Each structure stands twice: as C-alpha cells, then as structure tokens.
Structure 1
Amino acid sequence: MTPPLWLHQVELLAGPQQSATSCDALLAPDGSLLAWGEGATQQAQALGLAPRLAKGWLLAPLLVDPHSVLEQASGGRAEDLTSLAEAAAAGGYGTVALLPWASPWRDQPEKLGLSWPAPMQLELWGSFSIGGANQELAPHGDQLAAGAIGLAGTDQVPPLALMERGLLLGEMGRSPVLLAPRDAGLSGGGFVREGVETLRAGWHPDPVLSEILPLQSLLSLAELRPEARLALMNLATAAGVGLLRQAPRRPMATVGWWHLLADSGNLDPSAEGWRLCPSLGAPRDREALITALADGVLTAVAVHHLPLDAEEILLPLDQRRAGLAGHGGRHGLVLPLLWDELVRRRSWPVQRLWQALSWGGSELLGREPEQLRAGSRRWLLFDPNHGWSWDRQGCPSRAANHPLRGKQLVGGIRASGLIPAAKWTI
C-alpha cells in the first residue's frame, strides 16, 4: 500500500483573509489532503514517513475560471468536455464556468446537462437572449431552475431595450447577469486597441469608444436597477477602468488573463495573441487593468478559454476568429505567467493573486470561496521555480491557439487533488 506523502516546510495558504505560513502537510495517495500544521507532522512521524522538503512551494486552494467557451461538448476538433477538464486540472483550475456560446447555443434548460466528475466542478451560464442573437429574451427562469449559474450575453452588449426588458422582468433574481461592454459596430473592423504602438505596427485600430459607450449604458443600468446583479465581462481599457472607478454603483467585473500580460508595445508582431475580443490594449491599458485588479475595482481574472483548431490559425490574422486558449500545457499557463508578472516582478502578496484567480471568481459566480479542507481533493501544489517548455506533446488541450508555444516557462503545478498521484512531479 502506497504511504502518504509528507511535505516539509511548504508554504500553505488555507483560504481568504489568511496569510501563507510555512508548515508541514500530509497528502494521501488518492489525492486527498489529510492534514497540515503540527497535526500533519505528528501523523507523519507516527507512520515513520520520510519528509519531502517543499520549501518555496505553495499549497493552496484551487483556481476558479468565471467564464470560458466550449463550442462542442463532444466531437469538437479544437476541444471537447473531456480534454477541457484535463487541461483545466493541469493548470490548477477546479471550477470552470462555461458561457452559452456553443453549437447549438445553450439557451434552453435541456441544453444545460453538462457535468464533470468530482472533484472537478463545471458551472454553466444560461443565455440572456435566444440563440445569442440579441433579438428575443431566452427563458431566464427555466434556465436558472435547470441549474444555470446566471445569465450571460455574447461578446457585445445587447440592445438597451432588450436589457431593460430582461432586468425589468427580473426572472434572474439575484443570479448574476454577465454582459460585455463592447459594440462591434463602433470598432470599425479594428482588432488592436487604438494607440501609437498600434499605428507603428500597422494594425487596424479599434477605438476606445467601442468599449466606453456601451460601458456607460451598462453602468447607468446598474444604477437604475440595483436589484440586479449585473457583472461586466472582460474589461480591457484604461478609460473603461476609469469609468468603473467613478461609478456610484460599481458592478463586479472580470479581466482576461492575457490582457494583464501582453500589450501592443511588448508583443512580437509574429506572436500568437494579437487577435482577441476585446482587442489587445496599449501599455497604459495593461497597467490600468493591473492596478484596478490590485485595488479590487476588477473582481476576477477570467481565462476566457476560446479554443481554435489547427486549420483556423492558418488563416490571416484579420480573417481569423478572435480568441485565445488559456487552459493548456502540462502545468498550465495562467498561474505561472501571472505569478511571474504580479508576484515576482510587482511584489504582489500571494493572497492578492489568489483573490484574483480564485476567490474573486467564486464571488462573481455566487459560490463559497475555495479553501483547504481536511479530506478534500480541491488543492494544488505550485512550484514558482519549476522550469518547463510549452509544447503540444503532453498538453491535455487540443486547441492550437495557445500563446508561447515552444517557450521556456518558469513555475508549474507539481501536484493536485485533481491529478492522479502517478502524474505528480514531486
């Protein structure tokens, strides 16, 4: 019988409002967290176990992705339900909430029957409009009764009259309504945010107004309908952050992970990661988003995983669908890259990063925050100094539009209750 694993001097973050402390922890071969602290040390010594020095590693609750996309649950060329679960688990994500953007569109109760085996948690957003066409309201109450976490729109704001009608009916109660502050009609076909860097690179610019004008409408609606839990999807500009800061009634808001790492001034013109929705911003946009996330003006970081297959990424950039895959790699991409940017370079405390990657997502979804519990498999073990190279071999996700292919990365998931112990790299 395989004995438990004794981690010695691991940094442990048990939950929100707590600080990371150095202690011992005991992991069972079935992936459950048996104990930590003095109790773990005593149990390990009583069993005659040899300690595994884990100094500098972090044992923490799982991450939460408040919105991503899966177009085909089975038979998808770029991703399916199984491959997405494996990719999310590899990156430390124990909860993923899927938008209704699918084929067929998930806008009816009978289309909300997707699930993952425990301890993974799959949440489903219902649709605000039928077919995502922004013409007629979908059956809000029926979707929520069938288990939808809330209601979500498309990648652009619905017409004001449709939003007002939906909120006035109030079938969503206190469930969140997630809407994107974006008007494609104002973007002029641009796909990189306007700025000096965009003009120098020769990209067609997307004006800031394509976010600002719909955002003003949404903020006004949030003030007029305080009973509704309105949430903003993927804020992307410094001007948008400024409006949100000044709002008398500030709704919850997400930011895409790649917008915190890349901008039109630091991304190579040939790199993957330019074609996004909302558009990639200028350096000032990225700095404003990071500051707003640190201040709590932005609630959570979304992976907003939108996988494309190998054929789609061969298209010219201006003809390709906008989107980036984030759940992928043997150890995931989001946590290592944001750890490097925010903790290592900007000296964020670990608790602040977990607020952005885990607890903020739980808050937006209306769920209890993730925390370590004895006997639970919902934990991850992260090594900030683990070096590895991103390649397709061993990557659970089949998506082809991952950034940083072939790049050397630092930081990775060593183990998790979501991953079989045979695959732990300890």
Structure 2
Amino acid sequence: MAIWILNASAIDPVSGEKETLHLRVAEGKVAQRLSGAEKPDTSGHEVIDAAGKLISPGFIDMHVHLREPGFEYKETIASGTRSAAKGGFTTIAPMPNTRPVTDNAETVRFVLDKARAEGVVRVLPYAAITKNELGRELTDFPALKEAGAIGFTDDGVGVQNAQMMKNAMAAAQALGMPIIAHCEDDTLVEGAAVTEGEFAKRHGLKGIPNESEAIHVGRDILLAEATGVHYHVCHVSTEQSIRLIRLGKSVGVNVTTEVCPHHLLLSDEDIPDSMDANWKMNPPLRTPKDVEACIRGLEDGTIDIIVTDHAPHSGEEKARGMARAPFGIVGLETAFPLLYTKFVRTGRWTLGFLLGKLTREPARVFGLPYGTLDVGAPADLTLIDLDTEREVDPASFASQGRNTPFAGWKLYGWPALTMVEGNVVWTDNGGTNR
C-alpha cells in the first residue's frame, strides 16, 4: 500500500529554509511532494501524521563495524542494522576486518546475503585491500567488485608498505573504485592506548602521536596524485592530517575524508581518571586543538562527511581496562542527537549543514543514489523528534554493544521512525520491523 506522510517539517537543501510538506511514497520511491498548504487525497493510502517531526533523507554511514562473520558475540548483521535503523541510518558500509576477513568474493556475498535475509537497512560492504589485512598481497579487486564490494580498505590497520599502497591505488583506479585508508604508522603506536597528551602524561602512559596518522595521510595523498585514484581517509583526527588534506584538495588531488562525532565532541582531557575503557578508541581522543581543527575542517569543507565508526565490543572485553581493552565505541544510535544538541541547538551549525554531512555529502562522495527526498528517489527517510530531551541509556541500545563514553548525556534530536525503500523498519514505539 502507498503511504502519505503528512505535515512533516523539512529543511530545503538549497535555501536551508524550513518548510512543511506532505510526502507520498509508493513502490519504494518518493512518488509525490506537496507543500504544507496543499491538501493531498489520502484515500486508499496508509497515513503517517508527522506533525511536530522533522523529515530527513535517511542517514548514510560509510564506516561501521558489523562484526559478522566471526565476532557475533560483539554484533551481528541483524543487531547492527537494527541499531542503524534506530539511529536514523538507512545505508551503512561495514568494514572488512571480520573473521574471516572480507577479502574474497565468497565472504562479500555472505555479508550481502545475510543483510538481505536478516538486516533491516541497506548494507554496502567494503572488501580488504590485502589478503587477511596483512599488507603482503593484494586481494582480487575485480572479483571483489563483481561480488558487490563498494571499495577497498584494510581498516583497523594501516597499509605499511608504500609500494603496496601505490599498487592498490592503481588497481582500484583501473576499476573506478575508491581506496579507503586507515592511516597509522605502526612503528609509532605499539603499546599505546591513548593520544600523546595530558591524560597520557598524567597517568604515565605511552601516547599515540599525531604524526602516526599524518605520515600515512601525506604519503597517500602523493600516491593518489600519482595514480588518480579516489582516496578517502578514514576517521581523521589530527590538525596535521587536516592540513595535509586541505593542501591535497587545493592542488586537485581526489582526496576526501570523514570525521566521527567523538572526535568533534571530546578530547583526551575529557577522559576520566578512572581509566574507563569506554573512552578508548582508534584514532584516540586527541587534544582540544585537534578537536577544534576537526570542527573547522568540517565547516570549511576540508572534511567531507560524518561517520560513526560504530565499533561494538563485549562488556567483558571493555572491562579489561585502558591498557588491555580493544579500541572502539558504538555510535549509530547517538550520532545525530549528539551533533544536533551540541552544534545545532547551540547555534554553531545550521540544521541543514548537519543533515547534509549525513545524507547528501556521503552520497556525493561515494556516488550513491541516496540522500535526497526528491521525487523518484528511493524512499529512505527518517522522522526526528527535535524537541524531546532523553538520556543516553546503553541498556536500551538495539546494538549488542554498550561501549559508549556518552552514557547519561541528556540530548535532543532522537529519531522516531525510519523507512527504507518505502518500508517502515523502525519506530520509537514499536521497535524494528522486518
């Protein structure tokens, strides 16, 4: 049955002005848009009254970890996609550092088949650059593309060998595919859990220096210039990296990048002295100077998109303490409320700016046909309650992961309904639908 969504508040993506609209959804697509002053004929339609809610294109997260296959005790494709739906995301791109690594066509097809059978949002998997992410031998890029991979990355580890990365870029460019890089020089980070800053000094910990990230960023921008590949930097976190990316863009290198909410909101000076490992992620929380550089880089367009780097772990793993716990926090269910509350409600950003970084811009960067509510577009959307304050409660997460530093934060901007290709897949009063 076709659906009319009535009385929704929307942000015009060009003017940034607020408008009221009625949206008709049929056969999985946006079929009709009417202004709030017009009166649609709703006979024979299901009706959703969205009065008091913001309507947005479904959010797109180009960097998540669904953990399956191999680490289903942390997360599954089913639970991870439900977490995405609850957070307003309709398209997500999982990283290949699973077990087995997503480095062959069979595993790519497994992820896609599992997502179709058990997932509730669109899943676009990456494949590994090198076999087993060991940095020694390239994977079969043509076979991986044919199987459905949307790009190549060894996320979780940096490709240490420059010739290997150059070869990968040349192979990806020949296929019209992007290289997505986790930038980290291993020789500078061994045995470290936090950034080289005030927290590390206070606790006598070895720190991860900013240059461990920036060295790879600078190297890879030069290699991307030489090969012409679309080069995308994962989870940028340092002022030095942003400076290099800005320079690369200025001379015409096809370099794009992403930033996570936690690197926009938290610094190493916020980490509690309790050494709670829910504050441990990679890249680590950097200095206040780096946080401001990330914010300004997003604002001036150096940083293209926002991602969550949703990285669930078990409670037992995170209980091992700052030194021994794995890196990573969950983020799908808190991303929009955090950014809306801390940047839009405070007046630093417009609502249209934030929505663009979660919808239109990811679609542009990766050439995806999503991220709009134009007539004819896939009916991927989220309705958002901008006015109700709620507390972040990890026990209520749809994700299996509870590892967040934001527990107890009081936020606005909670998704109320998520739709994928015309199907309602999550509501705040009914959970997920399949």
Query: Would you say same fold, with TM above 0.5?
Result: yes
Partner Cα distance (1:237, 1:382) in 2: 32
Rounded to whole Å, the distance in 1 between the matches of 2:169 and 2:179 is 9
The offset of 1:316, in angstroms, is 1.3
- The residue aligned with 2:235 is 234
What letter corresponds to residue 310 of structure 1 in structure 2? G
CA contact under 8 A between 2:67 and 2:77: conserved in structure 1? no
Amino acid at match of 1:371: T
Read off the aligned partner of 1:261 and give its amino acid letter.
Answer: L
1:12 aligns with 2:16: no
Partner of 1:199: 201
Mark the CA change 1:53 to 1:391 in structure 2 (over 3 Å): closer, same or farther.
closer
What are the residue-to-residue correspondences of 1:13-412 with 2, within 5 Å?
Answer: 13=11, 16-17=13-14, 19-25=16-22, 35-38=32-35, 41-43=38-40, 54-55=51-52, 57-73=53-69, 76-113=72-109, 114-115=111-112, 116-117=115-116, 120-158=121-159, 159-170=161-172, 172-196=174-198, 198-200=200-202, 202-226=204-228, 228-247=229-248, 248=251, 249=253, 251-270=255-274, 273-327=278-332, 332-373=333-374, 377-412=379-414
Letter in 2 for 1:380: T
Matched, 1:423 2:424: no
How far off is 1:276 after superposition?
A: 0.9
Taking only aligned residues, the RMSD between alpha carbons, in angstroms, comes to 3.2
Residue deviations 1:369-410 (CA, integer Å, cap 9, x gap): 411145854111112222223334442111131232244332
How far, CA to CA, are the matches of 1:152 and 1:50 in structure 2? Answer: 43
**Gapped runs of 5+ residues in structure 2?**
none
| Matched residue type, 2:91 | T
Q: Secondary structure at the match of 1:112?
A: helix
How many angstroms apart in 1 are the aligned matches of 2:154 and 2:218?
17
Deviates more, 1:29-38 or 1:381-390: 29-38
User: What is the TM-score with the length of structure 1 in the denominator?
Assistant: 0.87
CA contact (8 A) 1:26 1:40 kept: no
Residue 300 of structure 1: how far off its partner (Å): 1.1
Could you list the per-position Cα deviations for residues 289-340 of structure 1 after superposition, in whole angstroms to 9, with x for gaps in the alignment? 011111110111111111101211110111011011112xxxx200010111
The alignment partner of 1:318 has SS state of: coil
Give the CA deviation at 1:33.
6.3
Give distance in 2, aligned partners of 1:387 and 1:338: 14
Paired residue type of 1:299 = D
User: How much has 1:205 moved relative to structure 2?
Assistant: 1.7
Provide the C-alpha distance between the structure 1 equivalents of 2:28 and 2:169, rounded to a whole number of angstroms: 43
Structure 1 stretch displaced more, 404-413 or 208-217: 404-413
- Given that 2:60 and 2:92 are in contact with CA atoms closer than 8 Å, whether structure 1 keeps it comes out as yes
Residues 5 and 50, structure 2, Cα contact 8 Å, conserved in 1: no
Is the partner of 1:124 in helix, strand or coil? coil
CA drift of 1:235 comes to: 1.1
Percent of aligned positions with the same letter in both sequences?
A: 22
Query: In 2 relative to 1, CA 97–170 (structure 1 residues): closer, same or farther, beyond 3 Å?
Result: closer
- Runs of 5+ unmatched residues, structure 1: none
Q: TM-score, normalised by structure 2?
A: 0.86
Distance between the aligned counterparts of 1:394 and 1:31, measured in 2?
30
Superposed CA offset, 1:38-97 (max 9, x none): 378412688999996834x32110111111112224871121011111110000100000
C-alpha offsets along residues 17-36 of structure 1, whole Å, 9 cap, x if unaligned? 35343214257799986754
Query: 1:154 corresponds to which letter in structure 2?
Result: D
The 1:135–1:296 alpha-carbon spacing in structure 2 relative to 1, beyond 3 Å, is same
Give the 3-state SS of the residue equivalent to 2:356 in structure 1.
helix
Does the 8 Å CA contact 1:299/1:356 hold for their aligned counterparts?
A: yes
Q: Report the 3-state secondary structure (helix = DSSP H, G, I; strand = E; otherwise coil) of the residue aligned with 1:70.
A: coil
